A and B are shown apart, each in its own frame.
Chain A
């Protein structure tokens, strides 16, 4: 299984400003001074191998959309934030316009998690088939409502792909597209659902928009079991712990600190920080990643958790 991130930003899509682009260019040029980078090959090697990630890349600004590339022919996604627009366009460019089968697991129906669907071109093309799974009883209504006046000029009925909505029950296992899938209710405004997705002994947990107040030991235990032995836990780390339990308490998000602890308790193999705070620039997210790796290191006992920070374009092979 391979996990590909198309949208990793929390709450609202963001774009780099021209000042931020200029800041990166200046940093790169200063770092390159005297290096004789007089060919594209030399310059590329320098950028790829020597520049810091926050200078040579960006974490990106699309909202939540994660693809699970499985053994099967179908396309599997978690959430339909603005990142799905890029996924759809890339798919059409490389695999043609029709004959695609999509399965989408929705964490919840807040705007940043559904807003990409009106721009998902395969949904407008006949011969494609999209099944959207979720646990909310307003699943279909949320998608139809955003794809009509006054919110959008093209009505949902103009989407010519076959589109189905399937309600799932939390805590029940389903076999979908060759995957074993189980949803779990999470603490978030209106409720959100995490997904534990398994195939051939590989386990991915998609757990975004989830606040962990940690005031109920049974709840902590249930989440640790949900994350148990996962190869990858994609975890909402939008806030610092201090913010999450003070000024932003009950805002429905979690922190890098809790992500590390839960993955340590669950003996998960990898933790991927996700749903990045929209006000954070690349340097800030890179620093958050470095701090989280340090936290994992100084609190490690007999189990190492590999820590990643998601970015638009990141691929993790399991």
Chain B
């Protein structure tokens, strides 16, 4: 799965693209893994920008849940942002909006996670 990454100061933004379902969830998980290792207390923060994701199934949501659990265990911070309308509805129906930090835009997510990351985003 295509997963571009972009750094804003101490925060890494990840940009998956396409459908995250039974066929692609494992690839999404594998692509995510190297970026999560450094998301820890005193280290990086991470935002997964879902603007390019048109659909996410329960298996894809499970990958996000595992990522969130891993990051929490490491003392780090993870948020998701910029959900397409269908994905936003799936988040609401599955109640994932209650267990993950969800922001309307990448900018708002960065602003919440790190002033330095927001400053880097604004000056980019």
B94 touching A298 by the CB < 8 A rule? no
Is B94 within 8 A of A257, CB to CB?
yes
A241 partner, pick from B22, B86, B89, B94, beta carbons under 8 A: B94
- The 8 tightest CB contacts between A and B, nearest first, are A241-B94, A240-B95, A242-B95, A242-B99, A291-B93, A257-B94, A295-B93, A242-B96
Q: Is B24 an interface residue (CB 8 A)?
A: no
Tell me the complex Cα distance, A240–B90, Å.
Answer: 11
The residue of chain A having its C-beta at the shortest distance from the C-beta of B61 within the complex is A241
Known contacts A217-B22, A295-B89, A298-B86; is-contact A242 B94 (Cβ 8 Å): yes
Q: List 28 A-B contacts (CB under 8 A).
A: A214-B58, A214-B62, A215-B62, A217-B22, A220-B22, A240-B95, A241-B95, A241-B96, A242-B65, A242-B94, A242-B98, A242-B99, A243-B95, A245-B61, A245-B65, A246-B99, A255-B94, A257-B58, A257-B93, A257-B94, A258-B58, A261-B58, A294-B93, A295-B89, A295-B93, A298-B86, A299-B86, A299-B90
Q: Does A292 contact B (CB under 8 A)?
A: yes
A63 within 8 A of B: no
Out of A215, A220, A240, name the residue touching B94 (CB < 8 Å): A240
Contact A294 B58 (CB under 8 A): no
> How far is the CB of A139 from the nearest CB of chain B, in Å?
33
Indicate whether A67 reaches chain B with its CB closer than 8 angstroms: no
A interface residue numbers (CB < 8 A to B): 214-215, 217, 220, 240-243, 245-246, 255-258, 261, 265, 291-292, 294-295, 298-299
The number of residue pairs between A and B whose CB atoms lie closer than 8 Å in the complex comes to 54
Question: Which secondary structure characterizes the binding site on chain B?
Answer: helix
Kindly state whether residue B53 has any CB partner on chain A within 8 Å.
no
Report the interface size for chain B: residues with CB under 8 A from the other chain. Answer: 19
Which chain B residue has the least Cβ–Cβ distance from A262? B58
Known A-B contacts A245-B65, A295-B90; the reply to A261 vs B57 at CB < 8 A is yes
B55 CB to nearest A CB, Å: 7
Beta-carbon nearest neighbor of A240 in chain B: B95
Asked if B51 is at the interface of the complex by the 8 Å CB criterion, the answer is: no
Distance of A262 Cα from B94 Cα, bound (Å): 15
| Nearest CB of chain A from residue B20's CB, rounded to whole Å | 13
B87 to A, closest residue via Cβ: A298
| Interface assignment of B17: CB less than 8 Å from any CB of chain A | no
Closest B residue, CB atoms, query A258: B58
Q: Is B113 part of the contact surface with A, judged by Cβ < 8 Å? A: no
Q: In the bound complex, how far is the Cα of B68 from the Cα of A167, in angstroms?
A: 43
Nearest CB on A from B28, distance (A) = 14
Closest Cβ neighbor of A290 among chain B residues: B93
Report B-chain residues with C-beta under 8 Å of the C-beta of A240. 94-95
